[in-house]
Amino acid sequence: MSHNTSNHALPVLDLKNVPYHCRLAGKQMLILLLMYELSRLVFYLFNHVYYSHLSFTRLAYYFVAGSRFDVCAILFTNLPFIVLSIIPAGSEKSIYRRFFLPILFLLVNALALFMQFGDTVFFQYTYKRSTADIFKFLELGSDTADVLPSLLHSYWYMFFLWGLFVVITGSLYRRSIRKSYDTKPDGHHYIAAAVSSYILTAAVVVIGFRGGWQLKPISILDAAGYGPSRDFPLIINTPFSLGKTLGVPPLRDYHFFSTAHARSIYPTLHQPTEGIFRRLNVVTIILESFSKEYVGALNNRHRTNTPFLDSLIGQSLVCDNAFSDGRKSIEGIPAVVAGLPSWMDEPYITSNYNSDNFQSLASLLTKENYTTAFFHGGTNGTMGFSSFCRGAGFRYYYGRSEFNNDKCYDGHWGIWDHIFLQYFARNLDTLRQPFYAALFTLSSHEPFSIPDSLKTTYTQQGDEMPILKCVRYSDMALHRFFQTASKMPWFDSTLFVITADHAGPSHDPYYSNRVGMYEIPIIFYMHNSALKGRIHKAVEQIDIMPSVLDYLHYPYTYFAFGRSILDSTGNHIAVNYLNNCYELINSPYCLQFEGQRCTALYNCSNDSLLCNNLLAKQPAVKDSMSKLLKSVLQQYSNDLIHNKLHTN
């Protein structure tokens, strides 16, 4: 008795169907190209404030140019599918082609689309496409698992869109197969047709995979051929960005000048300050996502979200042209406490250089017998902070575990700010003086929740950003901390430094552009002291460490990339890195440098939205700033790569 097994057999070397399978694979790649372009449209619509400068013509041009990067990413992620679909195995109704290949196609591309939609949301915080460092970040603590439920709640519509795109992709895939069922194989010259199809398919895949005929395969920097670096995230896509940064060293070892000449332009060794060492306590308070935009006293706005911080600013030395050195918390903490910026695609904490011998405020002040402690109400291990703090020389670490009362847990990140700041004040009172302590708050973070009992007080009606109620709440928590601390015996002999880890989300075109997105408060306060006034020159987070040591009259030579705000000599600048572009801010100008060339120069004072490129009109300014930036980059890359972040 015979059985019909044609539906399940996998005939080998069935070359007659090869041309058909190659054409079908091509159609299916075109389906993906359509879905990538549609996901780019979603990305643009969700982040349109950041791209408000684009005309319709320029936007359409980016969509066309972006297809080059889309094709590369599609072929890269779908290469196994393409190979398996064109091999001469399996009839059209076999399990192999009816089930295995569709499942493989859908799983791979559902993941690729998930990356795209994930970056659509996170772009408003990072202003870049995700790079390979995200995999190391996911390994740090349980942050992803803790925050995922809140993200699902806050951005349910984005998950719905992603699901819709997956369904559409699967539907188009099935339609492409159904329309081809009646297609008959080529004639009796099928061997020649199969070989020709393989050669043509291989050529198309290789050219598409490389992004064209050019000598080197396409890279992220090739997006510069279509637009400025601020537009890179719209031109490229997330799978391309991830693929092109996997296994790539985060830093290039620049050699623009001799080492001696580079250090003469921008010195990194700081000499002892004249005068008797002041054995003052030092407290650094790092406020999560506190943009300069949110602080009324720094924006001359009648309506403010930070009434207490505004009142403190009037009694402090304030840097009103201050910038963060990164866009993420994991980048901000090393910059503030150790003067270590992350001017690369990967945060210092997760980079290959995190075992370098570096100096921090904690390790340097330990030489003067300071007690050192770091406080963060988050789950211990989050973002690698506890390990970094040990390496930075902090003697004590106080986190959620040390707090040891999850009745005060916010359900997402850690202990509520108004409670943990009181815990901070009480524990400072137990530290042997002099002490250096740093605190990092957490409540003004996605999913932007505050205690239920305070929602009525701090939530305002109207169309405002969700983070603002958290800013008002954290400002209140800061106020209560100072009320408690002011009654303690160490208060009058303590230098307070208040800043942010990075800027938060914005709907304002200025605070969404390449300069404004880094603006944060940096405030130095000491009760009943002469430390008051405004500093208008450019200041960045890495300047905090040398400024504190300068104010204390630190008696030893030390290494730091930053510059003391009290130093009236030398250059006072701010540097940042995003989308393969370095930016140097040296008031009133900012210079943008991509790879080996300067691409833009703006006068930020007269052109806050960065519309008028002065590169050709101000060659002397460009040359001077370029020389300074190259010196900074050479020393930064050389010192990290060769472990020179310290004095001999």
Rounded to an integer, the average pLDDT of 508-533 is 94
Tell me what pLDDT residue 141 has. 59
Confidence category of residue 447, pLDDT binned at 50, 70, 90: confident
Q: Residue 267: CB partners within 8 Å, gap ≥ 6?
A: 570
Quote the CA–CA distance of 262 and 66 in Å, as a whole number.
Answer: 38
pLDDT (tens digit per residue) in 206-228: 998 898 888 788 888 788 789 88
Three-state SS for 552-607 is HCCCCCEECCCCCCCCCCCCCCEEEEECCEEEEEECCEEEEEECCEEEEEEECCCC
More confident residue, 425 or 191: 425
Tell me what pLDDT residue 4 has. 46
Q: Looking at the predicted structure, is the pLDDT value of residue 252 above 50?
A: yes
Rounded to an integer, the average pLDDT of 572-580 is 93
pTM: 0.83
Tell me what pLDDT residue 579 has. 86
Q: Residue 615: CB partners within 8 Å, gap ≥ 6?
A: 598, 599, 600, 601, 622
**Inter-CA distances, 602 with 110, 140, 514, 605, Å:** 41, 38, 11, 9
Confidence category of residue 339, pLDDT binned at 50, 70, 90: very high
**Inter-CA distances, 561 with 546, 635, 645, Å:** 9, 9, 9
Residue ranges of domains in the chain: 15-245, 262-641
Rounded to an integer, the average pLDDT of 569-595 is 91
Q: Looking at the predicted structure, is the pLDDT value of residue 8 above 60?
A: no
State the fold for domain 262-641. Answer: Alkaline Phosphatase, subunit A (3.40.720)
Return the C-alpha torsion angle 108, 111, 117, 120, nearest 10.
Answer: -100
